[in-house]
């Protein structure tokens, strides 16, 4: 399908763009173009868009693209760009925080601190949106996104809204799947892709959540955020485009330790390099193609398997077509 024949009966208020270079929307700053990108004006507009979407149109929800590699040949279908929209954030009467999917982690952490709440500090160091953090069960320093979730609001491909609780999901380390999806077609897709594919039969994506934090005080929360950011600056190659940890940590070990032990720090393919500062990061030294990065991921995986017998599994999501 080259032109999207949108079937909306109500006029759309969001922005539909074509041939959008995904390097502008991913933290690795490389990759091909999305055939179409839709940035809804708000939740209502998103629902109108989804209800008019032709059945076979591939659909990807994208936040800040901080866990995403789009291959150089680009992406067929439509990217739903939720960062810069779905940006609602407020304190509810019961003390929980209502936060929409496009809100970045840093903004959420600062907002919670301002409300004298404690426990949201770790979100400040994760450069993604709430939607991406829910999809990945993102976490660091002993905290995980879903530990804070009271309820989530989801929509499916048909534009139907649901409110769900953590009990509706199987939740683990960088893993979230609706229990209802177990055994369905969606389970056959790699975990990181499940939320993107929006299988017409089942899958949903996140539009908002209600999060619960404990009472604290703004000063200590701000200090916590500052300390956490300093730690990241000291240990991560934040001066070059990257996507955070490339591989999931295997049970009881660290991917970075294994990669370093195999002598792969500094290994390069084209413009992609295993960071000298943190071995589980691959940096774009300037002109890396998505193929450079993917080839390096494969090479690291093969070398670690050969030398240690352990198979590392990518945490980053790789989508699109090779050139
Ligand atoms: C410097 C750096 C440090 C990082 N540190 C950490 C860390 O400490 N801990 C950690 O867990 N991660 C870390 N990451 C990885 C990344 O920030 C997280 O995975 C984050 O949750 C991704 O959010 P995003 O909005 O960028 O998602 P994207 O990269 O845009 O998308 C990631 C996945 O989420 C899906 N998705 C996005 N929005 C939605 C939605 N609304 N509903 C359903 N699915 C959706 C996408 O389809 C895709 O499958 C780091 C990345 C960088 C660059």
C-beta of 104 in contact with ligand 1 (< 6 A): no
Helix axes 105-114, 218-235, angle to 10 degrees: 150
Distance CA 176, CA 73 (A): 29
Is the entire prediction scored with pTM above 0.75? yes
- Per-residue pLDDT, 2: 44
Neighbouring C-alpha atoms within 13 Å toward the C-beta of 37: 19
**247 with 313: CB under 8 angstroms?**
yes
In the DSSP assignment, the letter for residue 9 is: S
Question: What pLDDT score does 204 carry?
Answer: 87
Judge whether residue 152 has pLDDT over 60.
yes
Q: What is the pLDDT of residue 201?
A: 44
Q: What is the mean pLDDT of residues 24-39?
A: 97
Buried b (16+ CB within 10 A) or exposed e, 233-253: eeebbbebbbbbbbbbbbeee
Q: Please say if the pLDDT value at position 38 is more than 70.
A: yes
d(CA 91, CA 192): 30
Quick one: what percent of the chain has pLDDT higher than 70?
91
Taking only the tens place, the pLDDT of each residue in 74-101 is 999 999 999 999 999 999 999 999 999 9
Please, which residues bridge with residue 34 across strands? Answer: 20, 75
Closest listed residue to residue 225, CA positions, set 137, 117, 306, 311: 117
- Judged against a pLDDT cut of 90, whether residue 18 lies above it is answered with yes
pLDDT at 10: 78
The per-residue DSSP string of 281-306 comes to: -EEE-SS--HHHHHHHHHHHHHHHHH
What gap in Å lies between CA 181 and CA 306, rounded to an integer?
35
Cα pseudo-dihedral 14, 15, 16, 17, rounded to 10: -170
**CA gap 92, 35 in Å, rounded:** 39
Mean pLDDT of 130-140: 96
Average confidence (pLDDT) over 143-157: 96
| Residue 139: pLDDT band with limits 50, 70, 90 | very high
Model pLDDT, residue 220: 95
From 36, 110, 174, 248, the catalytic residue? 174
pLDDT digits (tens, 9 = 90+) for 245-280: 999 999 999 999 999 999 999 999 999 999 999 999
Torsions phi, psi of 12, nearest 5? Answer: -80, 145
- Model confidence at 6, pLDDT cuts 50, 70, 90, reads low
Select the more confidently predicted residue: 171 or 194. Answer: 171
Whether 315 is catalytic is yes
pLDDT higher at 214 or 197: 214
Mean pLDDT of the chain: 92
* pLDDT digits 0-9 by tens, 295-304: 999 999 999 9
**What pLDDT score does 187 carry?**
59
112: phi then psi, degrees, rounded to nearest 5:
-60, -40
Identify whether 196 is a catalytic site residue. Answer: no
Place of tokens 């195999």: 262
Q: How confident is the model at residue 35 (pLDDT cuts 50, 70, 90)?
A: very high
Any atom of ligand 1 within 6 Å of the Cβ of 27: yes
How large a percentage of the chain has pLDDT more than 90?
Answer: 82
At residue 180, the pLDDT reads: 85
Of 36, 245, 248, 275, the active-site residue reads 245
62 lines ligand 1 (CB under 6 A): yes
How far apart are the C-alpha atoms of 19 and 64, rounded to whole Å? Answer: 18
Give the confidence band of 219 by pLDDT, cuts at 50, 70, 90. very high
Mean pLDDT throughout 11-35? 96
- Compute, in angstroms, the gap from residue 63 CA to the centroid of ligand 1: 7
């Amino acid at each position: 399908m080259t032109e999207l024949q949108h079937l909306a009966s109500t006029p759309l208020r969001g922005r539909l763009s074509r041939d959008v270079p995904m390097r502008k929307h991913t933290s690795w700053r490389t990759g091909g173009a999305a055939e179409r990108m839709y940035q809804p004006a708000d939740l209502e507009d998103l629902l109108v868009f989804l209800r008019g979407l032709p059945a076979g149109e591939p659909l990807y929800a994208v936040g800040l693209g901080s866990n995403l590699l789009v291959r150089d040949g680009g992406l067929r279908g439509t990217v739903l760009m939720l960062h810069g929209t779905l940006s609602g954030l407020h304190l509810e009467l019961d003390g929980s925080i209502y936060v929409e999917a496009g809100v970045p982690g840093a903004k959420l952490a600062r907002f919670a601190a301002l409300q004298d709440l404690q426990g949201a500090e770790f979100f400040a160091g994760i450069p993604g949106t709430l939607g991406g953090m829910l999809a990945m069960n993102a976490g660091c320093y002993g905290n995980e996104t879903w530990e804070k979730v009271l309820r989530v609001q989801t929509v499916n491909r048909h534009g139907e809204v649901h409110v769900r609780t953590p009990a509706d999901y199987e939740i683990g380390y960088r893993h979230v799947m609706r229990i209802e999806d177990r055994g369905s077609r969606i389970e056959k897709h790699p975990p990181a892709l499940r939320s993107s594919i929006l299988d017409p039969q089942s899958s949903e994506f996140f539009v908002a959540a209600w999060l619960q934090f404990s009472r604290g005080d703004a000063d200590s929360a701000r200090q916590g955020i500052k300390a956490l950011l300093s730690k990241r600056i000291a240990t991560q190659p934040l001066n070059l485009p990257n996507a955070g940890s490339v591989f999931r940590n295997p049970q009881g070990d660290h991917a970075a330790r294994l990669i370093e032990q195999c002598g792969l720090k500094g290994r390069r393919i084209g413009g992609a390099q295993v960071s000298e500062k943190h071995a589980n990061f691959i940096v774009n030294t300037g002109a890396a193609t998505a193929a450079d990065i993917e080839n390096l991921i494969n090479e690291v995986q093969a070398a670690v398997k050969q030398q240690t017998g352990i198979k590392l599994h990518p945490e980053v999501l790789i989508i699109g077509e090779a050139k």
